[in-house]
Structure formats: structure tokens, C-alpha cells
Amino acid sequence: MTGDGMGISAGEFAAGFKGFLEQAAAQAPFEPPFFARRFTELFGTDPGGFPVVMQEFQQRDHPNLQRALEGYLDGRRSDLMGVSTSNKSFNGVSLLELVARRGRPGLWGDGSPTPGPVEYTDVGLGDETVTCVKSGLILVEDGDERLVVLVSVGQNSLMRGQVRVEVMAADRAVAEACLAELRRGVRERNVYRGRVISLEQEPFQPVTVRLHALPGRRGRGRR
């Protein structure tokens, strides 16, 4: 009933209940987003002002990059995890998005990225398959040095056909050295060396690399 002091309308009830929920959310204990906390634990301080360096690799170099990453991480302590965001499939993920500290969350949270599954893609090489990280975050410890390496592939027109690698460290020189080692690894661990290669390209699409096994070449199986 309404208008006679005997009750309230459905709209008034909804507005009052919404206000109650907002007040409860405002009074709840506040915690920084997951990745902001995780990065602070890794570096021992808030990395909000740390430099980020970036390198984009062509999609055809994805298996070479995977081999380079494996070589770089060999002998270093690392933790690989996935990231979930609302626009991940289109724009990919960025370290700036992960390290950002938002205000107090509302009823539905603050939209911060959350932990998710690591995404992989298989790249066939004719006689073997290389399983590559398509989207993943790597926390690296190398003696006293700490780094965060993010691998991301987006589907928008700017990133299509490219694999983006971002590196964060307290010292920019450390991050630059990481990317330099990855670039060197891509050249030195080239999976196409010694194989028969053909290149194909559809209109408005990146170049596709096709590999063909040499006659008499024995398959080396899946890796």
C-alpha cells in the first residue's frame, strides 16, 4: 500500500535496499586488488611507479619466443599464473592494468583483473608441436633481482598477428636486459632452422608460416 502511511512501493523498497547494500560495501574491510598485493609481495614494495618495457614479436615467432622464455627461465625461480579481465580476449592484458590500484569497490567489485587460467596455443611444425603460452604472467626471482613478465595476445586490429611481452622491474636496465635475452633467444633457438617453409597470407590477415617435413625425416613427437 502507498500514500496512506500503511506501506511503501516496490520502487521505494528497492532504493532503500540498494542504499543498505552500498553502505555495507563501504564499511567492509578494504583490500588492494590481488595482483597489486602479489606484486608488492614479490618486490617488497609498492611497484606502482616501476618502469615497464615492451617488445612485440610476430606471430610466426611465437614458438621461437616460447623456446626463448624456457631458456631464460632455466636456472631462475619462476611462478606462472593466468589473468582474467573483462576485455582480455580483445585487447589482451597489460601490466599497467594489473598494477593499478582502484578505489574502494562498489556492489559488484572494482573491475580489477583476477587470477585465472594460463592460456596456451599449440603451434604445429610439421613433425612436432610446440605448446606456447598465449596469455600468462610470470613472476621471476633471479638472486636479488625481481621481475614480472607478461605474455599477451589480443584480437584487436593493433595487436592481431603479434605477441606482446611486457617486463616490469625496479630497475629499467634489468627489464631491458630480460627483453634483450629473449630477443637473442628467439634468434638462437629458431625452430624453423633446417625445415622447409612456405608463407601464406589471406587479405587483411598476418602471414601464416607452413612447415613441411623433409622426406625421410623422422618425427620427433609432441613437445
pLDDT tens by residue, 123-182: 988 778 999 999 999 999 999 999 999 999 876 545 566 899 999 999 999 999 999 999
Q: Per residue in 35-72, is it b (16+ CB within 10 Å) or e — as a string?
A: bbebbeebbeeebeebebbebebebbbbbbbbbbbebb
What pLDDT does residue 38 have? 94
pLDDT tens by residue, 40-78: 999 999 998 999 999 999 988 999 999 999 999 999 999
In whole numbers, what is the pLDDT of the chain averaged over residues? 79
CA distances to 33, 43, 84, 98, 222 from 38, in Å = 9, 9, 15, 10, 34
The conformational region for residue 77 under phi > 0 = left, psi -120 to 50 = alpha, else beta, is beta
Cα distance between residue 160 and residue 171, in whole Å: 30
Q: pLDDT category, 108, cuts 50, 70, 90? A: very low
Name the residue with higher pLDDT: 16 or 73: 73
Q: Which of 86, 100, 92 is nearest to 37 (CA)?
A: 100
Burial class (CB in 10 A: 0-12, 13-18, 19+), 7: exposed
Question: What's the predicted TM-score (pTM) here?
Answer: 0.73
What pLDDT does residue 219 have? 46
Cα distance between residue 45 and residue 140, in whole Å: 16
Residue 107 scores a pLDDT above 60: no
Q: pLDDT category, 222, cuts 50, 70, 90? A: very low
Query: Which residue bears the cell 552500498?
Result: 22
Percent of the chain with pLDDT over 70: 63
Q: Which residues contact 192 (CB under 8 A, 6 or more apart)?
A: 64, 125, 209, 211
Q: pLDDT category, 19, cuts 50, 70, 90? A: low
